[in-house]
Each structure stands twice: as C-alpha cells, then as structure tokens.
A and B are shown apart, each in its own frame.
Chain A
Amino acid sequence: MKTHAAKPDLKTHPPGGDQATKTSLPAVTRPTHPRNAGTELHMDWFETVQVNLSATERRTATLGGRRTVKKTYQAAWLVKALQCIDLTTLAGDDTPGRVHRLAAKARRPLRADIVEALGLSDTPPKVGAVCVYPTMVAPAVNALEGSGIPVASVATGFPTGLTPLPQRLAEIRYAVDMGAGEIDIVINRAQVLRQEWTALYDEICAMREACGNAHLKAILGTGDLRTLRNVYKASMVAMMAGADFIKTSTGKEEVNATLPVSLVMLRALRDYGDRTGMKVGFKPAGGIRTAKDAMSWLILMKEELGREWLEPDLFRIGASAMLADIERQLEHFVTGRYASASHHALA
C-alpha cells in the first residue's frame, strides 16, 4: 500500500458542488464541505485490504454496551436521527397520492405539541430527504416545493442494476430532469464478485457525470457482496469514482444494513479521507426500523468518524417505519406516557 504522503489525483468532474445551477431544483441545505471530486482508480488503496469478521463483529457487538444516551440527550439524538432520515417509499404500488402523503409527513414529521415541548418550534425538524422511484420524482418535487427537502431518486435499474448501461444512465438523467437532487444508484454487484474494478469504476464515473449537480449515493448491495473485504473494496472504488455517499443496501437484498458492514464502510470512508482529504457521506438502509437501531448507527458514526458525520449532509438513514417509532419515543419523553401509533400521522 502507498503511504499517506501520496497525493490524490483529482479527477475532473463537471463543475458543480457548492452552488445549485438549475433554478428548478428545490433549495436544499448545501453541505459545508466540498463535494467528493473522486480520484483516479488506485488499486493499491484496497487490493491488499484485510478485514477480520470476528474482530469486526466484536467491535459492533460491544459498542451498544459502551455508549448510551439518556433523557434529554436521548430526545435530542432521536431528533437528530429524524433529521437524517431519507423517508422512503419504493414499492410497486406507489402512486402520486401515496407520495404526496409521504411528502406531507416529511415536512411535518412530528406533531406540533411535541415540537413545542422539545423547544424546537422556531426550527421544526424535518427529514433529510424523500426517496422514491424515478417516475415518482415529479409528484414528490411538487409536494415538497418550498420545503427545502430534497427529493432523492433511486436509479440505474434499481434494485439489481443489471439493465444495460445506456438505459441506466438515461434513467439518472430522467430523474435529474424531473428535479431529483440526489440519485441513489445501485452498483453492478457482478463486477464486484468478479473483481472487475476498472469496469466498476468506469460505470460509476459515468453515473456521476450523468448526475451533474445532483448528488450521487452509491448503493453497494452489501448483502450480495457477502464478504467484508468486498464491501471495503467496493466502497473504495465508489468513492474514487466520485460518490457523494456510499450506501449499504437497496432494502431488497436478503441481508440489508448491518452494523459490521457499516463499520467496514466507515473505515473505508476514513481511509479514503486520510488519502484525499475528501469527506464522503454514509447511508445505511434496509431493515432499520426502531429508534434503538437509529441510536446504534448514530453512536457508530460518532465513534468512528466523529461529530461531523452526525448531520444530514454526511449521514442519512434510509427508512420508513423507523420514523413512527421515533415519534412514539419522543412523545414518551415529552409526556412520560407510552404513546400510541394511532396518535401520530401516517407517513
């Protein structure tokens, strides 16, 4: 492996980053750090990586015992989790009506009395983004207009990523044209399983180019990659190709977001940062349903990457049901009584 002294070769991507150029895009909270510019493909950054499963599991298994957050702190951390949610609907029966309902919940995820009791009335919390299929982007953009909440669209033959590349790129462009501010692409897992890193790198570069100013979140489909070494390598290639986020899963694989997989991705992210100075975001998705799950991931982020990665510009949680649990926990914090789901608006 090269030492830290090696300078990153910055790849030239279409200009973009800090300023949104298309006026049709919703006004989103822009990150305070520059976009990941990507680098050339450096095989030596990942080829010899070693990941020990038992050691990784030990770390994540003990983390929950090492850190906990109570009372007001817990309430604040839950609000933070809520702010990092990519509120998602990715189902075959999605309709514009369904998307409207989701968007309404995204704007106003907590009941006003709870917001007030938390002392947040002047800055009521909202979710990080709303995540939908490309054909649902337009209704979502419409419903979220003026909210500052970006619309994220899955693309590139979600969830398997096995449609031809031109179609996958066209799908990205379509979603961006419809107003998506973020594109959750799926990588071609076959290329990882066959260790075809150059091909994988080239595809993701092309996708990043197709995204333009929209942020690219690379879904690795870690459940399909199986080994933690593959997870690390795929993470590294996606970051070199310019991903703004790396994301665990589509939610459609047999195994979705797990803490060990997340830990390995965070370590890759840290190593990439050490080499390039770039900051890349992380998004676990799939199977994260409870407030407790959300806390586990927030703690993991803080422990492994630090305070900066506890904001929606660098951390998102792909979830839908989790929001309801967070609401109930926050109501319990406010009232001291256990809450009923029927007292909270449906997403």
Chain B
Amino acid sequence: MPTVKEILNTMEYGPAPEADSPVREWLEHHRDGFRHYIGGAFVQSSEGGTFRVMNPARDEPLASVAEGTTRDIDAAVSAATSAFPAWSTLPGHARARYLYAIARHIQKRERFLSVLETLDNGKPIRETRDIDIPLVARHFYHHAGWAELIETDIPDHGPVGVCGQIIPWNFPLLMLAWKIAPALAAGNTVVLKPAEYTPLTALAFAEICSEVGLPPGVVNIVTGDGATGAALVAHAGVSKIAFTGSTEVGRIIRKATAGSGKKLSLELGGKSPFIVFEDADLDGAVEGVVDAIFFNQGQVCCAGSRLLIQEGISDRFLDKLRRRMATLRVGDPLDKSIDMGAIVDPAQLARIESLVQQGVTEGGTLWQSDCELPARGSFYPPSVFVNAEPASTIAEVEIFGPVAVAMTFRTPEEAVQLANNTRFGLAASVWSENIDLALDTASQIKAGVLWINSTNLFDAAAGFGGYRESGFGREGGREGLLEYLVPMIEKSLLPAAPRTVAKLDASPHSGLKTAKLPEIDRTAKLYIGGKQARPDGGYSWTVTAPDGTALGEAGIGNRKDIRNAVETAVKAKGWSGQAGHNRAQVLYFMAENLSARAGEFADRLRSSGHSGEAAANEVEATIRRIFYYAAWADKFDGRVHATRSRHLTIGLHEPFGVIGLVCPDEAPLLGMISLILPAIAMGNRVVVVPSPVQPLSATDFYQVLDTSDVPGGVVSIVTGARAELAKTLADHDEVDALWYAAPRSEWAAVELASAGNLKPVWTLEGDRTDWHATTTGQGPRFLRHATQLKTIWVPYGE
C-alpha cells in the first residue's frame, strides 16, 4: 500500500474490493454440489451428472451443479403439475403474501445476492448492487400487487398451467424475476432452467422460496444446458414456454413447439439503434452511450450497439466519446470502482474477438480504450467502430459485447431508415432536445422499447419486449402479466367436429344440372391491392354446395398471388398512420354497404347450405361485428405506466403492419369479418385467405370493400388451397403476424414456417369457436392480437 504522501501525488483510486466471504462460505457449504429444486426438495440429477460453474473474472471454478436430464424435467413438471390445482385456486391475496415475502427476503439478502451474481456472472458489483437486485425486488413487489388485483382487475382470466421458463446468463436473477413473478402472481406453477454459465443465484432463490415456505412444486429449478432446456420445451405437460435468449435458439424453440398448442413468448436479440441528433445534449448522450453499450460489458439484448450520429456533430461527438472511453475502468468486478467487469465465459470472449477481427478485416476503424486488463479472466476493452457502414458484418449481427458501431446520417428521415434497417426490433434510444423530433422519430422506429434522452431504463410496471425478430410477448406491466393468463373463453371451446379437408379440383365440373337459361356467368377473382385480379396460375376450382351442386368457380391462388398481395399491403402504410376516427368512418361505411346488399349476401349463404334464417342472422351478425370494431377503432387506448417520478412512460398499441389472416370454415362471412375487422380497425393491412369450403361470400365481399373507400392494399383476398397459401404467408418475411383460425391439426406447418422471421402466430381453433357469440367471436383479445406494445420512456425536467 502506498503512503498518504505518495497517493497525494498520484491521486489514484486504489483498490476498493467488496467483501465476498459470506458468499464464499455459502459456496463452501455447498462444496458437494448444488442440486435441483424440485417439489420443494433439493435433489440430485437422476443420472448423477454434474457440471462446473466458473467465475469468469478469475477463471476459477465456483461450484458444481446438477446436470438436468429428461427424467429430472419429468419430475419437475410433475411436481409443478401436482402443485398447480392448489396454487391456482388460492385466493389472490394469499399468493400476494407469498410474493411479498419473496420480495422482502430478496431485499434482506440484497448484498449476498449481489456478490453472488457478480462472482458467477462477472458483472461489476456496482451493477448487481445498484441495478439488478433492486429491480428483482421491485419486480416481486409489483407482482405481489398483481396477485392481489387480478381477480377483480383482470376478471374472466385464469392461469395457463405449468410454465417452462428458460433464462439467459446476462441478468441471471433479474430474468428469473421477470419470469417467475408474473407466472406466480397469475396462479401458474413453473419449471425454470437457468443458464448453464450462471445458475447460482437461481439456486439461492430456491433456498429463499424454501425459506418463505412457498408450497412445494410451485417453483421448480432444474439446472443444465441446452439439452435440459430442450427437454423442458418438448415436455407435453408444459402449457407455456417463456424464453429469453438468442434469436437463434428462439427459432429452435419456435420450431420445437410448432403445433403443440403451447403458449409462447420470446425475448430475443437486438441491434438497437442509438440516435444522436444535432440538437441533443451531447455530453448527456455520451454518458448514454456508456450506459447503452458498456453496461454489463455490452451483454445486453437491448444494448444500443448502433450509434447513428447526425453528420454535422459526428466528429465532436465521437471526440467526446473517445475521451470518455479512456476514463472507463475495466477489471475485478468485485471492485467498487470498476465500470466493466468480465465477459461471462471464454467462449463468449472468443466470439467477440472474432467478430471484432472480422470488422477490422472488412476495413472498419476500431477504437479501443487502452485500459489495462487483468492478466487472468475474460476481459474485453470498451470498443467502437467508427465510420461503419450498414453493409458491414459488425453493423448487422449482434456482437453481445462492449462493441458499438458508429455511422452518420444526414436527415431525420435517414436516421429512421437506418434505425429500421435491421432484422431486429427490440429497443432504440433517441437523443434530441426537440420533443417534436424525438417523438416523431420514436413513433417511426420499429422497436418495442423507445428511450428518449435515456437508455436501458427498466421498470416492473412497463412492458419490455421486441418487434420483428427480437421476439414477441411482453414482460412487465399488465401486458407482461397477460402472457401468463388465458381468457376463460378460450377454455370453453366447442367440441371438435370431425371433418375432411376439401381438395380443390381444377378440372371442369359436370355436376351442374339445370334446364333453365343460365344466369349471367360470374367470375370470382382474387382481390389484390384494391383490384380484382385473375389468379397467377390461371386455374379455378368449382365451389359446390353441401349437396354437390356447383355454385360457381373460385380462383386457385398460388405463392405469387400471395407475394403480390403482400407487396400491396406493405405499400398501403398510409392506413396505419390514419387516425382511429378516420378508420372508423371507413368501417362504418363498410357496414352501410353490406347492409344495402344484405339480401344478396344472405342468398349466397343460403345457396351454400345455410337455412334462410341462419343466413339472414349471419349477415346481421356480420354488420354488428363491423360496428363493434368500428366502435373500437378509436378506443383501444394505450396506457401511461407508473414507473419512476418525472419519467413519462407510455405504452402505445401499434399495429403490426401486415397480418396474414387464414379464415375458418365455419361461418364463411362472419368468421372472415371477425378476423379482418379487428386487424384493420387497429391499422393493420391484411392478406386474407378465405375458407376453401365456402369462399364465394368472401369474394362477394370485395365489392363491398371497393365501394367503402377502403384504400387499395388494406385488404387483399386470395382464395385457394388454405394450407399451401397459409404456409406462404407464414414464411413470408414481410408478413409481420399471422392469425390462423383452422383446426389444431393444421397448426404445426404454419408455426414451423413462421420461424423464419419469428412472426407471432395466433392460432384459434376456428372449428371450435362460436363465431356468432359476442363472448367468443369478438372482444378485446382480438385487438390485443392485432397490436404490439411500444413502450416509450420520456424523462422530463428543466
């Protein structure tokens, strides 16, 4: 230790280590290895396997934990299943008391958990102590509140069942809290698999569950690697999978759960833009960059990793940033004066190094702080690529390390264009002191979380989650809670009716037997971009009544017709930007025009087998349904969340963009309208595949669209073989979401195909839904599926 006199000269900070002895003692106590937490007991792996957990800052082993097997997962799911009936029927207040106890105990173990997290993950004690663990406690408090309120505030909903939850290593305990707190509040039981790099705080959490007397089986924790996770995803006893991690694994999970009927939420990767306009507080924005990309060593899914800087201030901004980077301290994460700790594992470090190398090879200009790195452990210096181009690899892929790329833009329009030039859509940060510019930019960026003049702000009351390939579903707030609830209505479906899939026959039909003079032949076409269009393939099939009578022909649309329809839908952006009131007027007009043709539509339904009364009822119900959604068009409000003081936090319902709608066989007119209306009322543009059983009501309907001022491209209709067209919609990268109202047996194919751009697929059991009932055939749940939540944080103050 230098003398006072020497330090007076150097004025260095010196070491400031956080004591880790209580945690070391705990690890020592578990020297024989940690076990799974299943059914309230700590149990060994069924096959006795273990794996080592390392401290990445020192390259030394911390503990040995049980390796989860399929049998372990079976045991855990079975424990969760046994615990479910009692837990889900507990009064909300009782669940609230458990969650409150967990929140309190986390606070009482705050420093213990912080130190343990730092040892296991390598992130600085500053972050675990000041950010991670306080947010964990906050999350449990917030959801203790929800447990109390659900019965009265979100009525007619029930828990999903047993939830399988797989969490990443970057915020181990915080991600656990984000998963477990809402699940438990809603009455679910869970099996959680922590990341193999960082399972220790989850195991400490298991001890806390035990400490507060949580009923056995409500929370089960099985440690292991990807194989353990795969077993959990595949388990038939699991009703929901919630995953946070890479887009790559998210895609695997999407495929693995395809057709299973499991509810799914995915919180995946990102390459989030960090936009600095010339009228920003530049010094403030520089600190923003530090919090955006050097927070948690850049291992943050929503890290602001693409710096977009307005050209006129770029040099000055980067100069300030470079100087700021020089003062960042990298080193022992247990040191209280450290900004950046260790990368979680040597494998991650190697990945970062190789991507940076690739960036250099591709001609990037790399700035790195010349800070001293510890000799031992996985460390990486703060890095920025300046003058990056959108086409370079490092500007496209998620590096998941302390490496940002910087590029310039000229105009706000170009900033938005660059910001959206990515397959991801998790978050964005916008820096400008002009509120008009900031909000305008926020509204145009396709991302789930927008931070104005700030970055990486989180709160239990605000939804967090992505657009596009950053996943779907939200965590936090009411939206997050809804991921763990099912409307009771979905549990009261009609029994499934046996059915045969109609095969479309393109050959001339000989069933028409009539001696009368034929009526003038009508040709039902496809309806694409506001125009009637012949099917690209040039084929039609004969639509018949249940008794075999030929009713007419419908075009057999193919891949190219879907492509054309999507293209027009993509272009019809104006619809999404219209005010709800304007959209409502168009919808009302649609009802007016349908009403004028009610007789004609009833006739069509009658000819396809409806009784006279049923046909008239369906048309009437359709008109009502149009009114219902016209009414909603200007009322599905967002919310202002109660997060921090002087932080206006807004949850907006934004349309997805282009939604593919695959319609049910039942109620040929009403079923289709029940899908189209909520989607377009919320501002989406849709490509509709009507039921192949009775498509002519659908093709008749384009005449109503034509006369109701519906802009071209807002609704396109492509008739044909449902499964084939649906698959094209599912794997189309410009289709943002898909609703599939067809029997369960058909789900697997579309869900599998949707893994391409990870669009959310809403599967409705079309055949088991009563489309006439106002309880099942309509409702806000349709609007929720038609919108995605964008959370905008606007800190303010003068």
Interface centre among B6, B11, B15, B795 (most CB of A within 10 A): B11
Q: Mark B412-456, 1 if CB is under 8 A from A, else 0.
A: 000000000000000000000100000000000000000001100
Kindly state the separation between the CA atoms of A79 and B7 in the bound complex, as whole angstroms. 10
> Is residue A62 within 8 Å, beta carbon to beta carbon, of the partner chain?
yes
Kindly state the separation between the CA atoms of A75 and B797 in the bound complex, as whole angstroms. 38
In the bound complex, residues from chain B placing their C-beta under 8 Å from that of A73 are 7, 12-14
Query: When A65-B129, A227-B798 are in contact, do A54 and B646 touch as well, CB less than 8 Å?
Result: yes
Query: When A50-B433, A55-B453, A68-B337 are in contact, do A76 and B4 touch as well, CB less than 8 Å?
Result: yes
Report whether A69 and B798 are in contact in the complex, using a CB–CB cutoff of 8 Å. Answer: no
Q: How far is the CB of A192 from chain B (nearest CB, A)?
A: 15
Q: How far is the CB of A282 from chain B (nearest CB, A)?
A: 16
Say which residue of B3, B14, B288 sits within 8 Å of A69 (CB atoms). B14
Report whether A68 and B288 are in contact in the complex, using a CB–CB cutoff of 8 Å. Answer: no
Kindly state the separation between the CA atoms of A92 and B337 in the bound complex, as whole angstroms. 43
Q: Which of A96-104, A197-205, A209-217, A302-310 contacts B (4 or more CB under 8 A)?
A: A302-310
Considering only residues 753-798 of chain B, those with a C-beta below 8 Å from chain A are 795-798
Query: When A71-B1, A72-B3, A118-B4 are in contact, do A52 and B16 touch as well, CB less than 8 Å?
Result: no
Q: Mark A63-83, 1 if CB is under 8 A from B, else 0.
A: 001111111110111011000
Report whether B7 and A76 are in contact in the complex, using a CB–CB cutoff of 8 Å. Answer: yes
In the bound complex, residues from chain A placing their C-beta under 8 Å from that of B14 are 69-73
Closest-by-CB residue of A relative to B124 is A66
Report whether A80 and B284 are in contact in the complex, using a CB–CB cutoff of 8 Å. Answer: no
Kindly state the separation between the CA atoms of A3 and B280 in the bound complex, as whole angstroms. 17
Closest-by-CB residue of B relative to A226 is B798
Kindly state the separation between the CA atoms of A123 and B13 in the bound complex, as whole angstroms. 22
Q: Mark A135-175, 1 if CB is under 8 A from B, else 0.
A: 00000000000000000000000000000000000000000
Classify chain B: how many residues form its interface, as a range: 35 or more
Kindly state the separation between the CA atoms of A243 and B647 in the bound complex, as whole angstroms. 37
Interface centre among B16, B284, B647 (most CB of A within 10 A): B284
Closest-by-CB residue of B relative to A49 is B281
Q: How many residues of A contact B (CB 8 A)?
A: 38
Q: How far is the CB of A230 from chain B (nearest CB, A)?
A: 10
> Is residue A51 within 8 Å, beta carbon to beta carbon, of the partner chain?
yes
Report whether A72 and B5 are in contact in the complex, using a CB–CB cutoff of 8 Å. Answer: no
Report whether A72 and B798 are in contact in the complex, using a CB–CB cutoff of 8 Å. Answer: no
Kindly state the separation between the CA atoms of A56 and B646 in the bound complex, as whole angstroms. 14
Report whether A65 and B453 are in contact in the complex, using a CB–CB cutoff of 8 Å. Answer: no
Report whether B5 and A120 are in contact in the complex, using a CB–CB cutoff of 8 Å. Answer: yes
Query: When A52-B433, A54-B454, A303-B327 are in contact, do A69 and B13 touch as well, CB less than 8 Å?
Result: yes
Kindly state the separation between the CA atoms of A57 and B798 in the bound complex, as whole angstroms. 11
Closest-by-CB residue of A relative to B796 is A54
Report whether A67 and B337 are in contact in the complex, using a CB–CB cutoff of 8 Å. Answer: yes
In the bound complex, residues from chain A placing their C-beta under 8 Å from that of B548 are none
Q: Mark A280-309, 1 if CB is under 8 A from B, else 0.
A: 000000000000000000000011000100
In the bound complex, residues from chain A placing their C-beta under 8 Å from that of B795 are 54-55
In the bound complex, residues from chain A placing their C-beta under 8 Å from that of B647 are 54
Q: How far is the CB of A4 from chain B (nearest CB, A)?
A: 7
Report whether A68 and B16 are in contact in the complex, using a CB–CB cutoff of 8 Å. Answer: yes
Q: How far is the CB of A190 from chain B (nearest CB, A)?
A: 20
Report whether A65 and B16 are in contact in the complex, using a CB–CB cutoff of 8 Å. Answer: no
Q: How far is the CB of A312 from chain B (nearest CB, A)?
A: 12
In the bound complex, residues from chain B placing their C-beta under 8 Å from that of A62 are 130
Report whether B284 and A56 are in contact in the complex, using a CB–CB cutoff of 8 Å. Answer: yes
In the bound complex, residues from chain B placing their C-beta under 8 Å from that of A70 are 14-16, 336
> Is residue B316 within 8 Å, beta carbon to beta carbon, of the partner chain?
yes
Report whether B129 and A79 are in contact in the complex, using a CB–CB cutoff of 8 Å. Answer: no
> Is residue A59 within 8 Å, beta carbon to beta carbon, of the partner chain?
yes
Query: When A50-B280, A56-B284, A68-B337 are in contact, do A80 and B454 touch as well, CB less than 8 Å?
Result: no
Closest-by-CB residue of A relative to B282 is A50
Report whether B284 and A67 are in contact in the complex, using a CB–CB cutoff of 8 Å. Answer: no
In the bound complex, residues from chain A placing their C-beta under 8 Å from that of B454 are 54-55, 58
Report whether B1 and A58 are in contact in the complex, using a CB–CB cutoff of 8 Å. Answer: no
In the bound complex, residues from chain A placing their C-beta under 8 Å from that of B4 are 72, 75-76, 79, 118-120
Say which residue of B8, B15, B130 sits within 8 Å of A76 (CB atoms). B8
Closest-by-CB residue of B relative to A271 is B283
Report whether A72 and B2 are in contact in the complex, using a CB–CB cutoff of 8 Å. Answer: yes
What are 30 pairs between A and B in contact, CB < 8 Å? A3-B316, A50-B280, A52-B453, A53-B797, A54-B454, A54-B647, A55-B288, A55-B795, A56-B284, A58-B291, A62-B130, A65-B126, A65-B129, A66-B126, A68-B13, A68-B336, A69-B14, A70-B15, A72-B14, A73-B13, A73-B14, A76-B4, A76-B7, A77-B11, A80-B8, A118-B4, A302-B11, A303-B327, A307-B10, A310-B11
15 additional contacts, CB 8 Å, given A66-B337, A76-B5, A307-B10? A4-B316, A52-B280, A54-B646, A55-B288, A55-B795, A59-B284, A62-B130, A66-B126, A68-B13, A72-B7, A73-B14, A80-B8, A227-B798, A267-B283, A307-B11
Q: Which A residues fall within an 8 A CB radius of B?
A: 3-4, 48, 50-59, 62, 65-73, 75-77, 79-80, 118-120, 123, 227, 267, 302-303, 307, 310
Q: Which B residues fall within an 8 A CB radius of A?
A: 1-8, 10-16, 126, 129-130, 279-285, 287-288, 291, 315-316, 319, 327, 336-337, 339, 433, 453-454, 646-647, 795-798
